[in-house]
């Protein structure tokens, strides 16, 4: 892909400034990664993804992000708990 073609590609993911909730899921990374790899038709047997080192798995899959669209309770900016304000 040329630089010109790359510039035309849409951005991947959600911009950080739109994310309202960052949840630490590092303790579940190995389970999450195993579930992804269980989809044999989605990840080729010789894919680099299958040989990803643990520290890279934790970096790439160790948090889940969410965008709050509306809330009926007071919630802090930059929350780390999907149930903030409900407990």
Domain boundaries, the chain: 26-69
pLDDT in tens, 37-83: 998 888 899 999 899 999 999 999 999 999 988 888 887 778 888 88
Entry pTM: 0.72
Concatenated DSSP letters of the chain = --HHHHHHSPPPS--GGG--EEEE-GGGHHHHHHHHHT-TTTS-TT-GGGG--HHHHHHHHSEEEE-----SS---TTBS-TTTTT-
**CB of 80 closer than 8 Å to CB of 64:** no
Per-residue pLDDT, 22: 93
pLDDT, tens only, 20-41: 999 999 999 999 999 999 988 8
pLDDT at site 24: 95
């Amino acid at each position: 892909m040329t630089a010109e073609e790359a510039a035309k590609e849409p951005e991947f993911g959600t911009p950080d400034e739109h994310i309202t909730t960052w949840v630490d899921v590092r303790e579940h990374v190995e389970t999450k990664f195993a579930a992804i790899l269980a989809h044999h038709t989605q990840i080729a047997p010789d894919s680099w993804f299958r040989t990803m080192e643990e520290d890279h798995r934790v970096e790439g899959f160790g948090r889940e992000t969410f965008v709050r669209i509306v809330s009926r309770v007071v919630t802090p900016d930059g929350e780390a708990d999907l149930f903030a304000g409900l407990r």
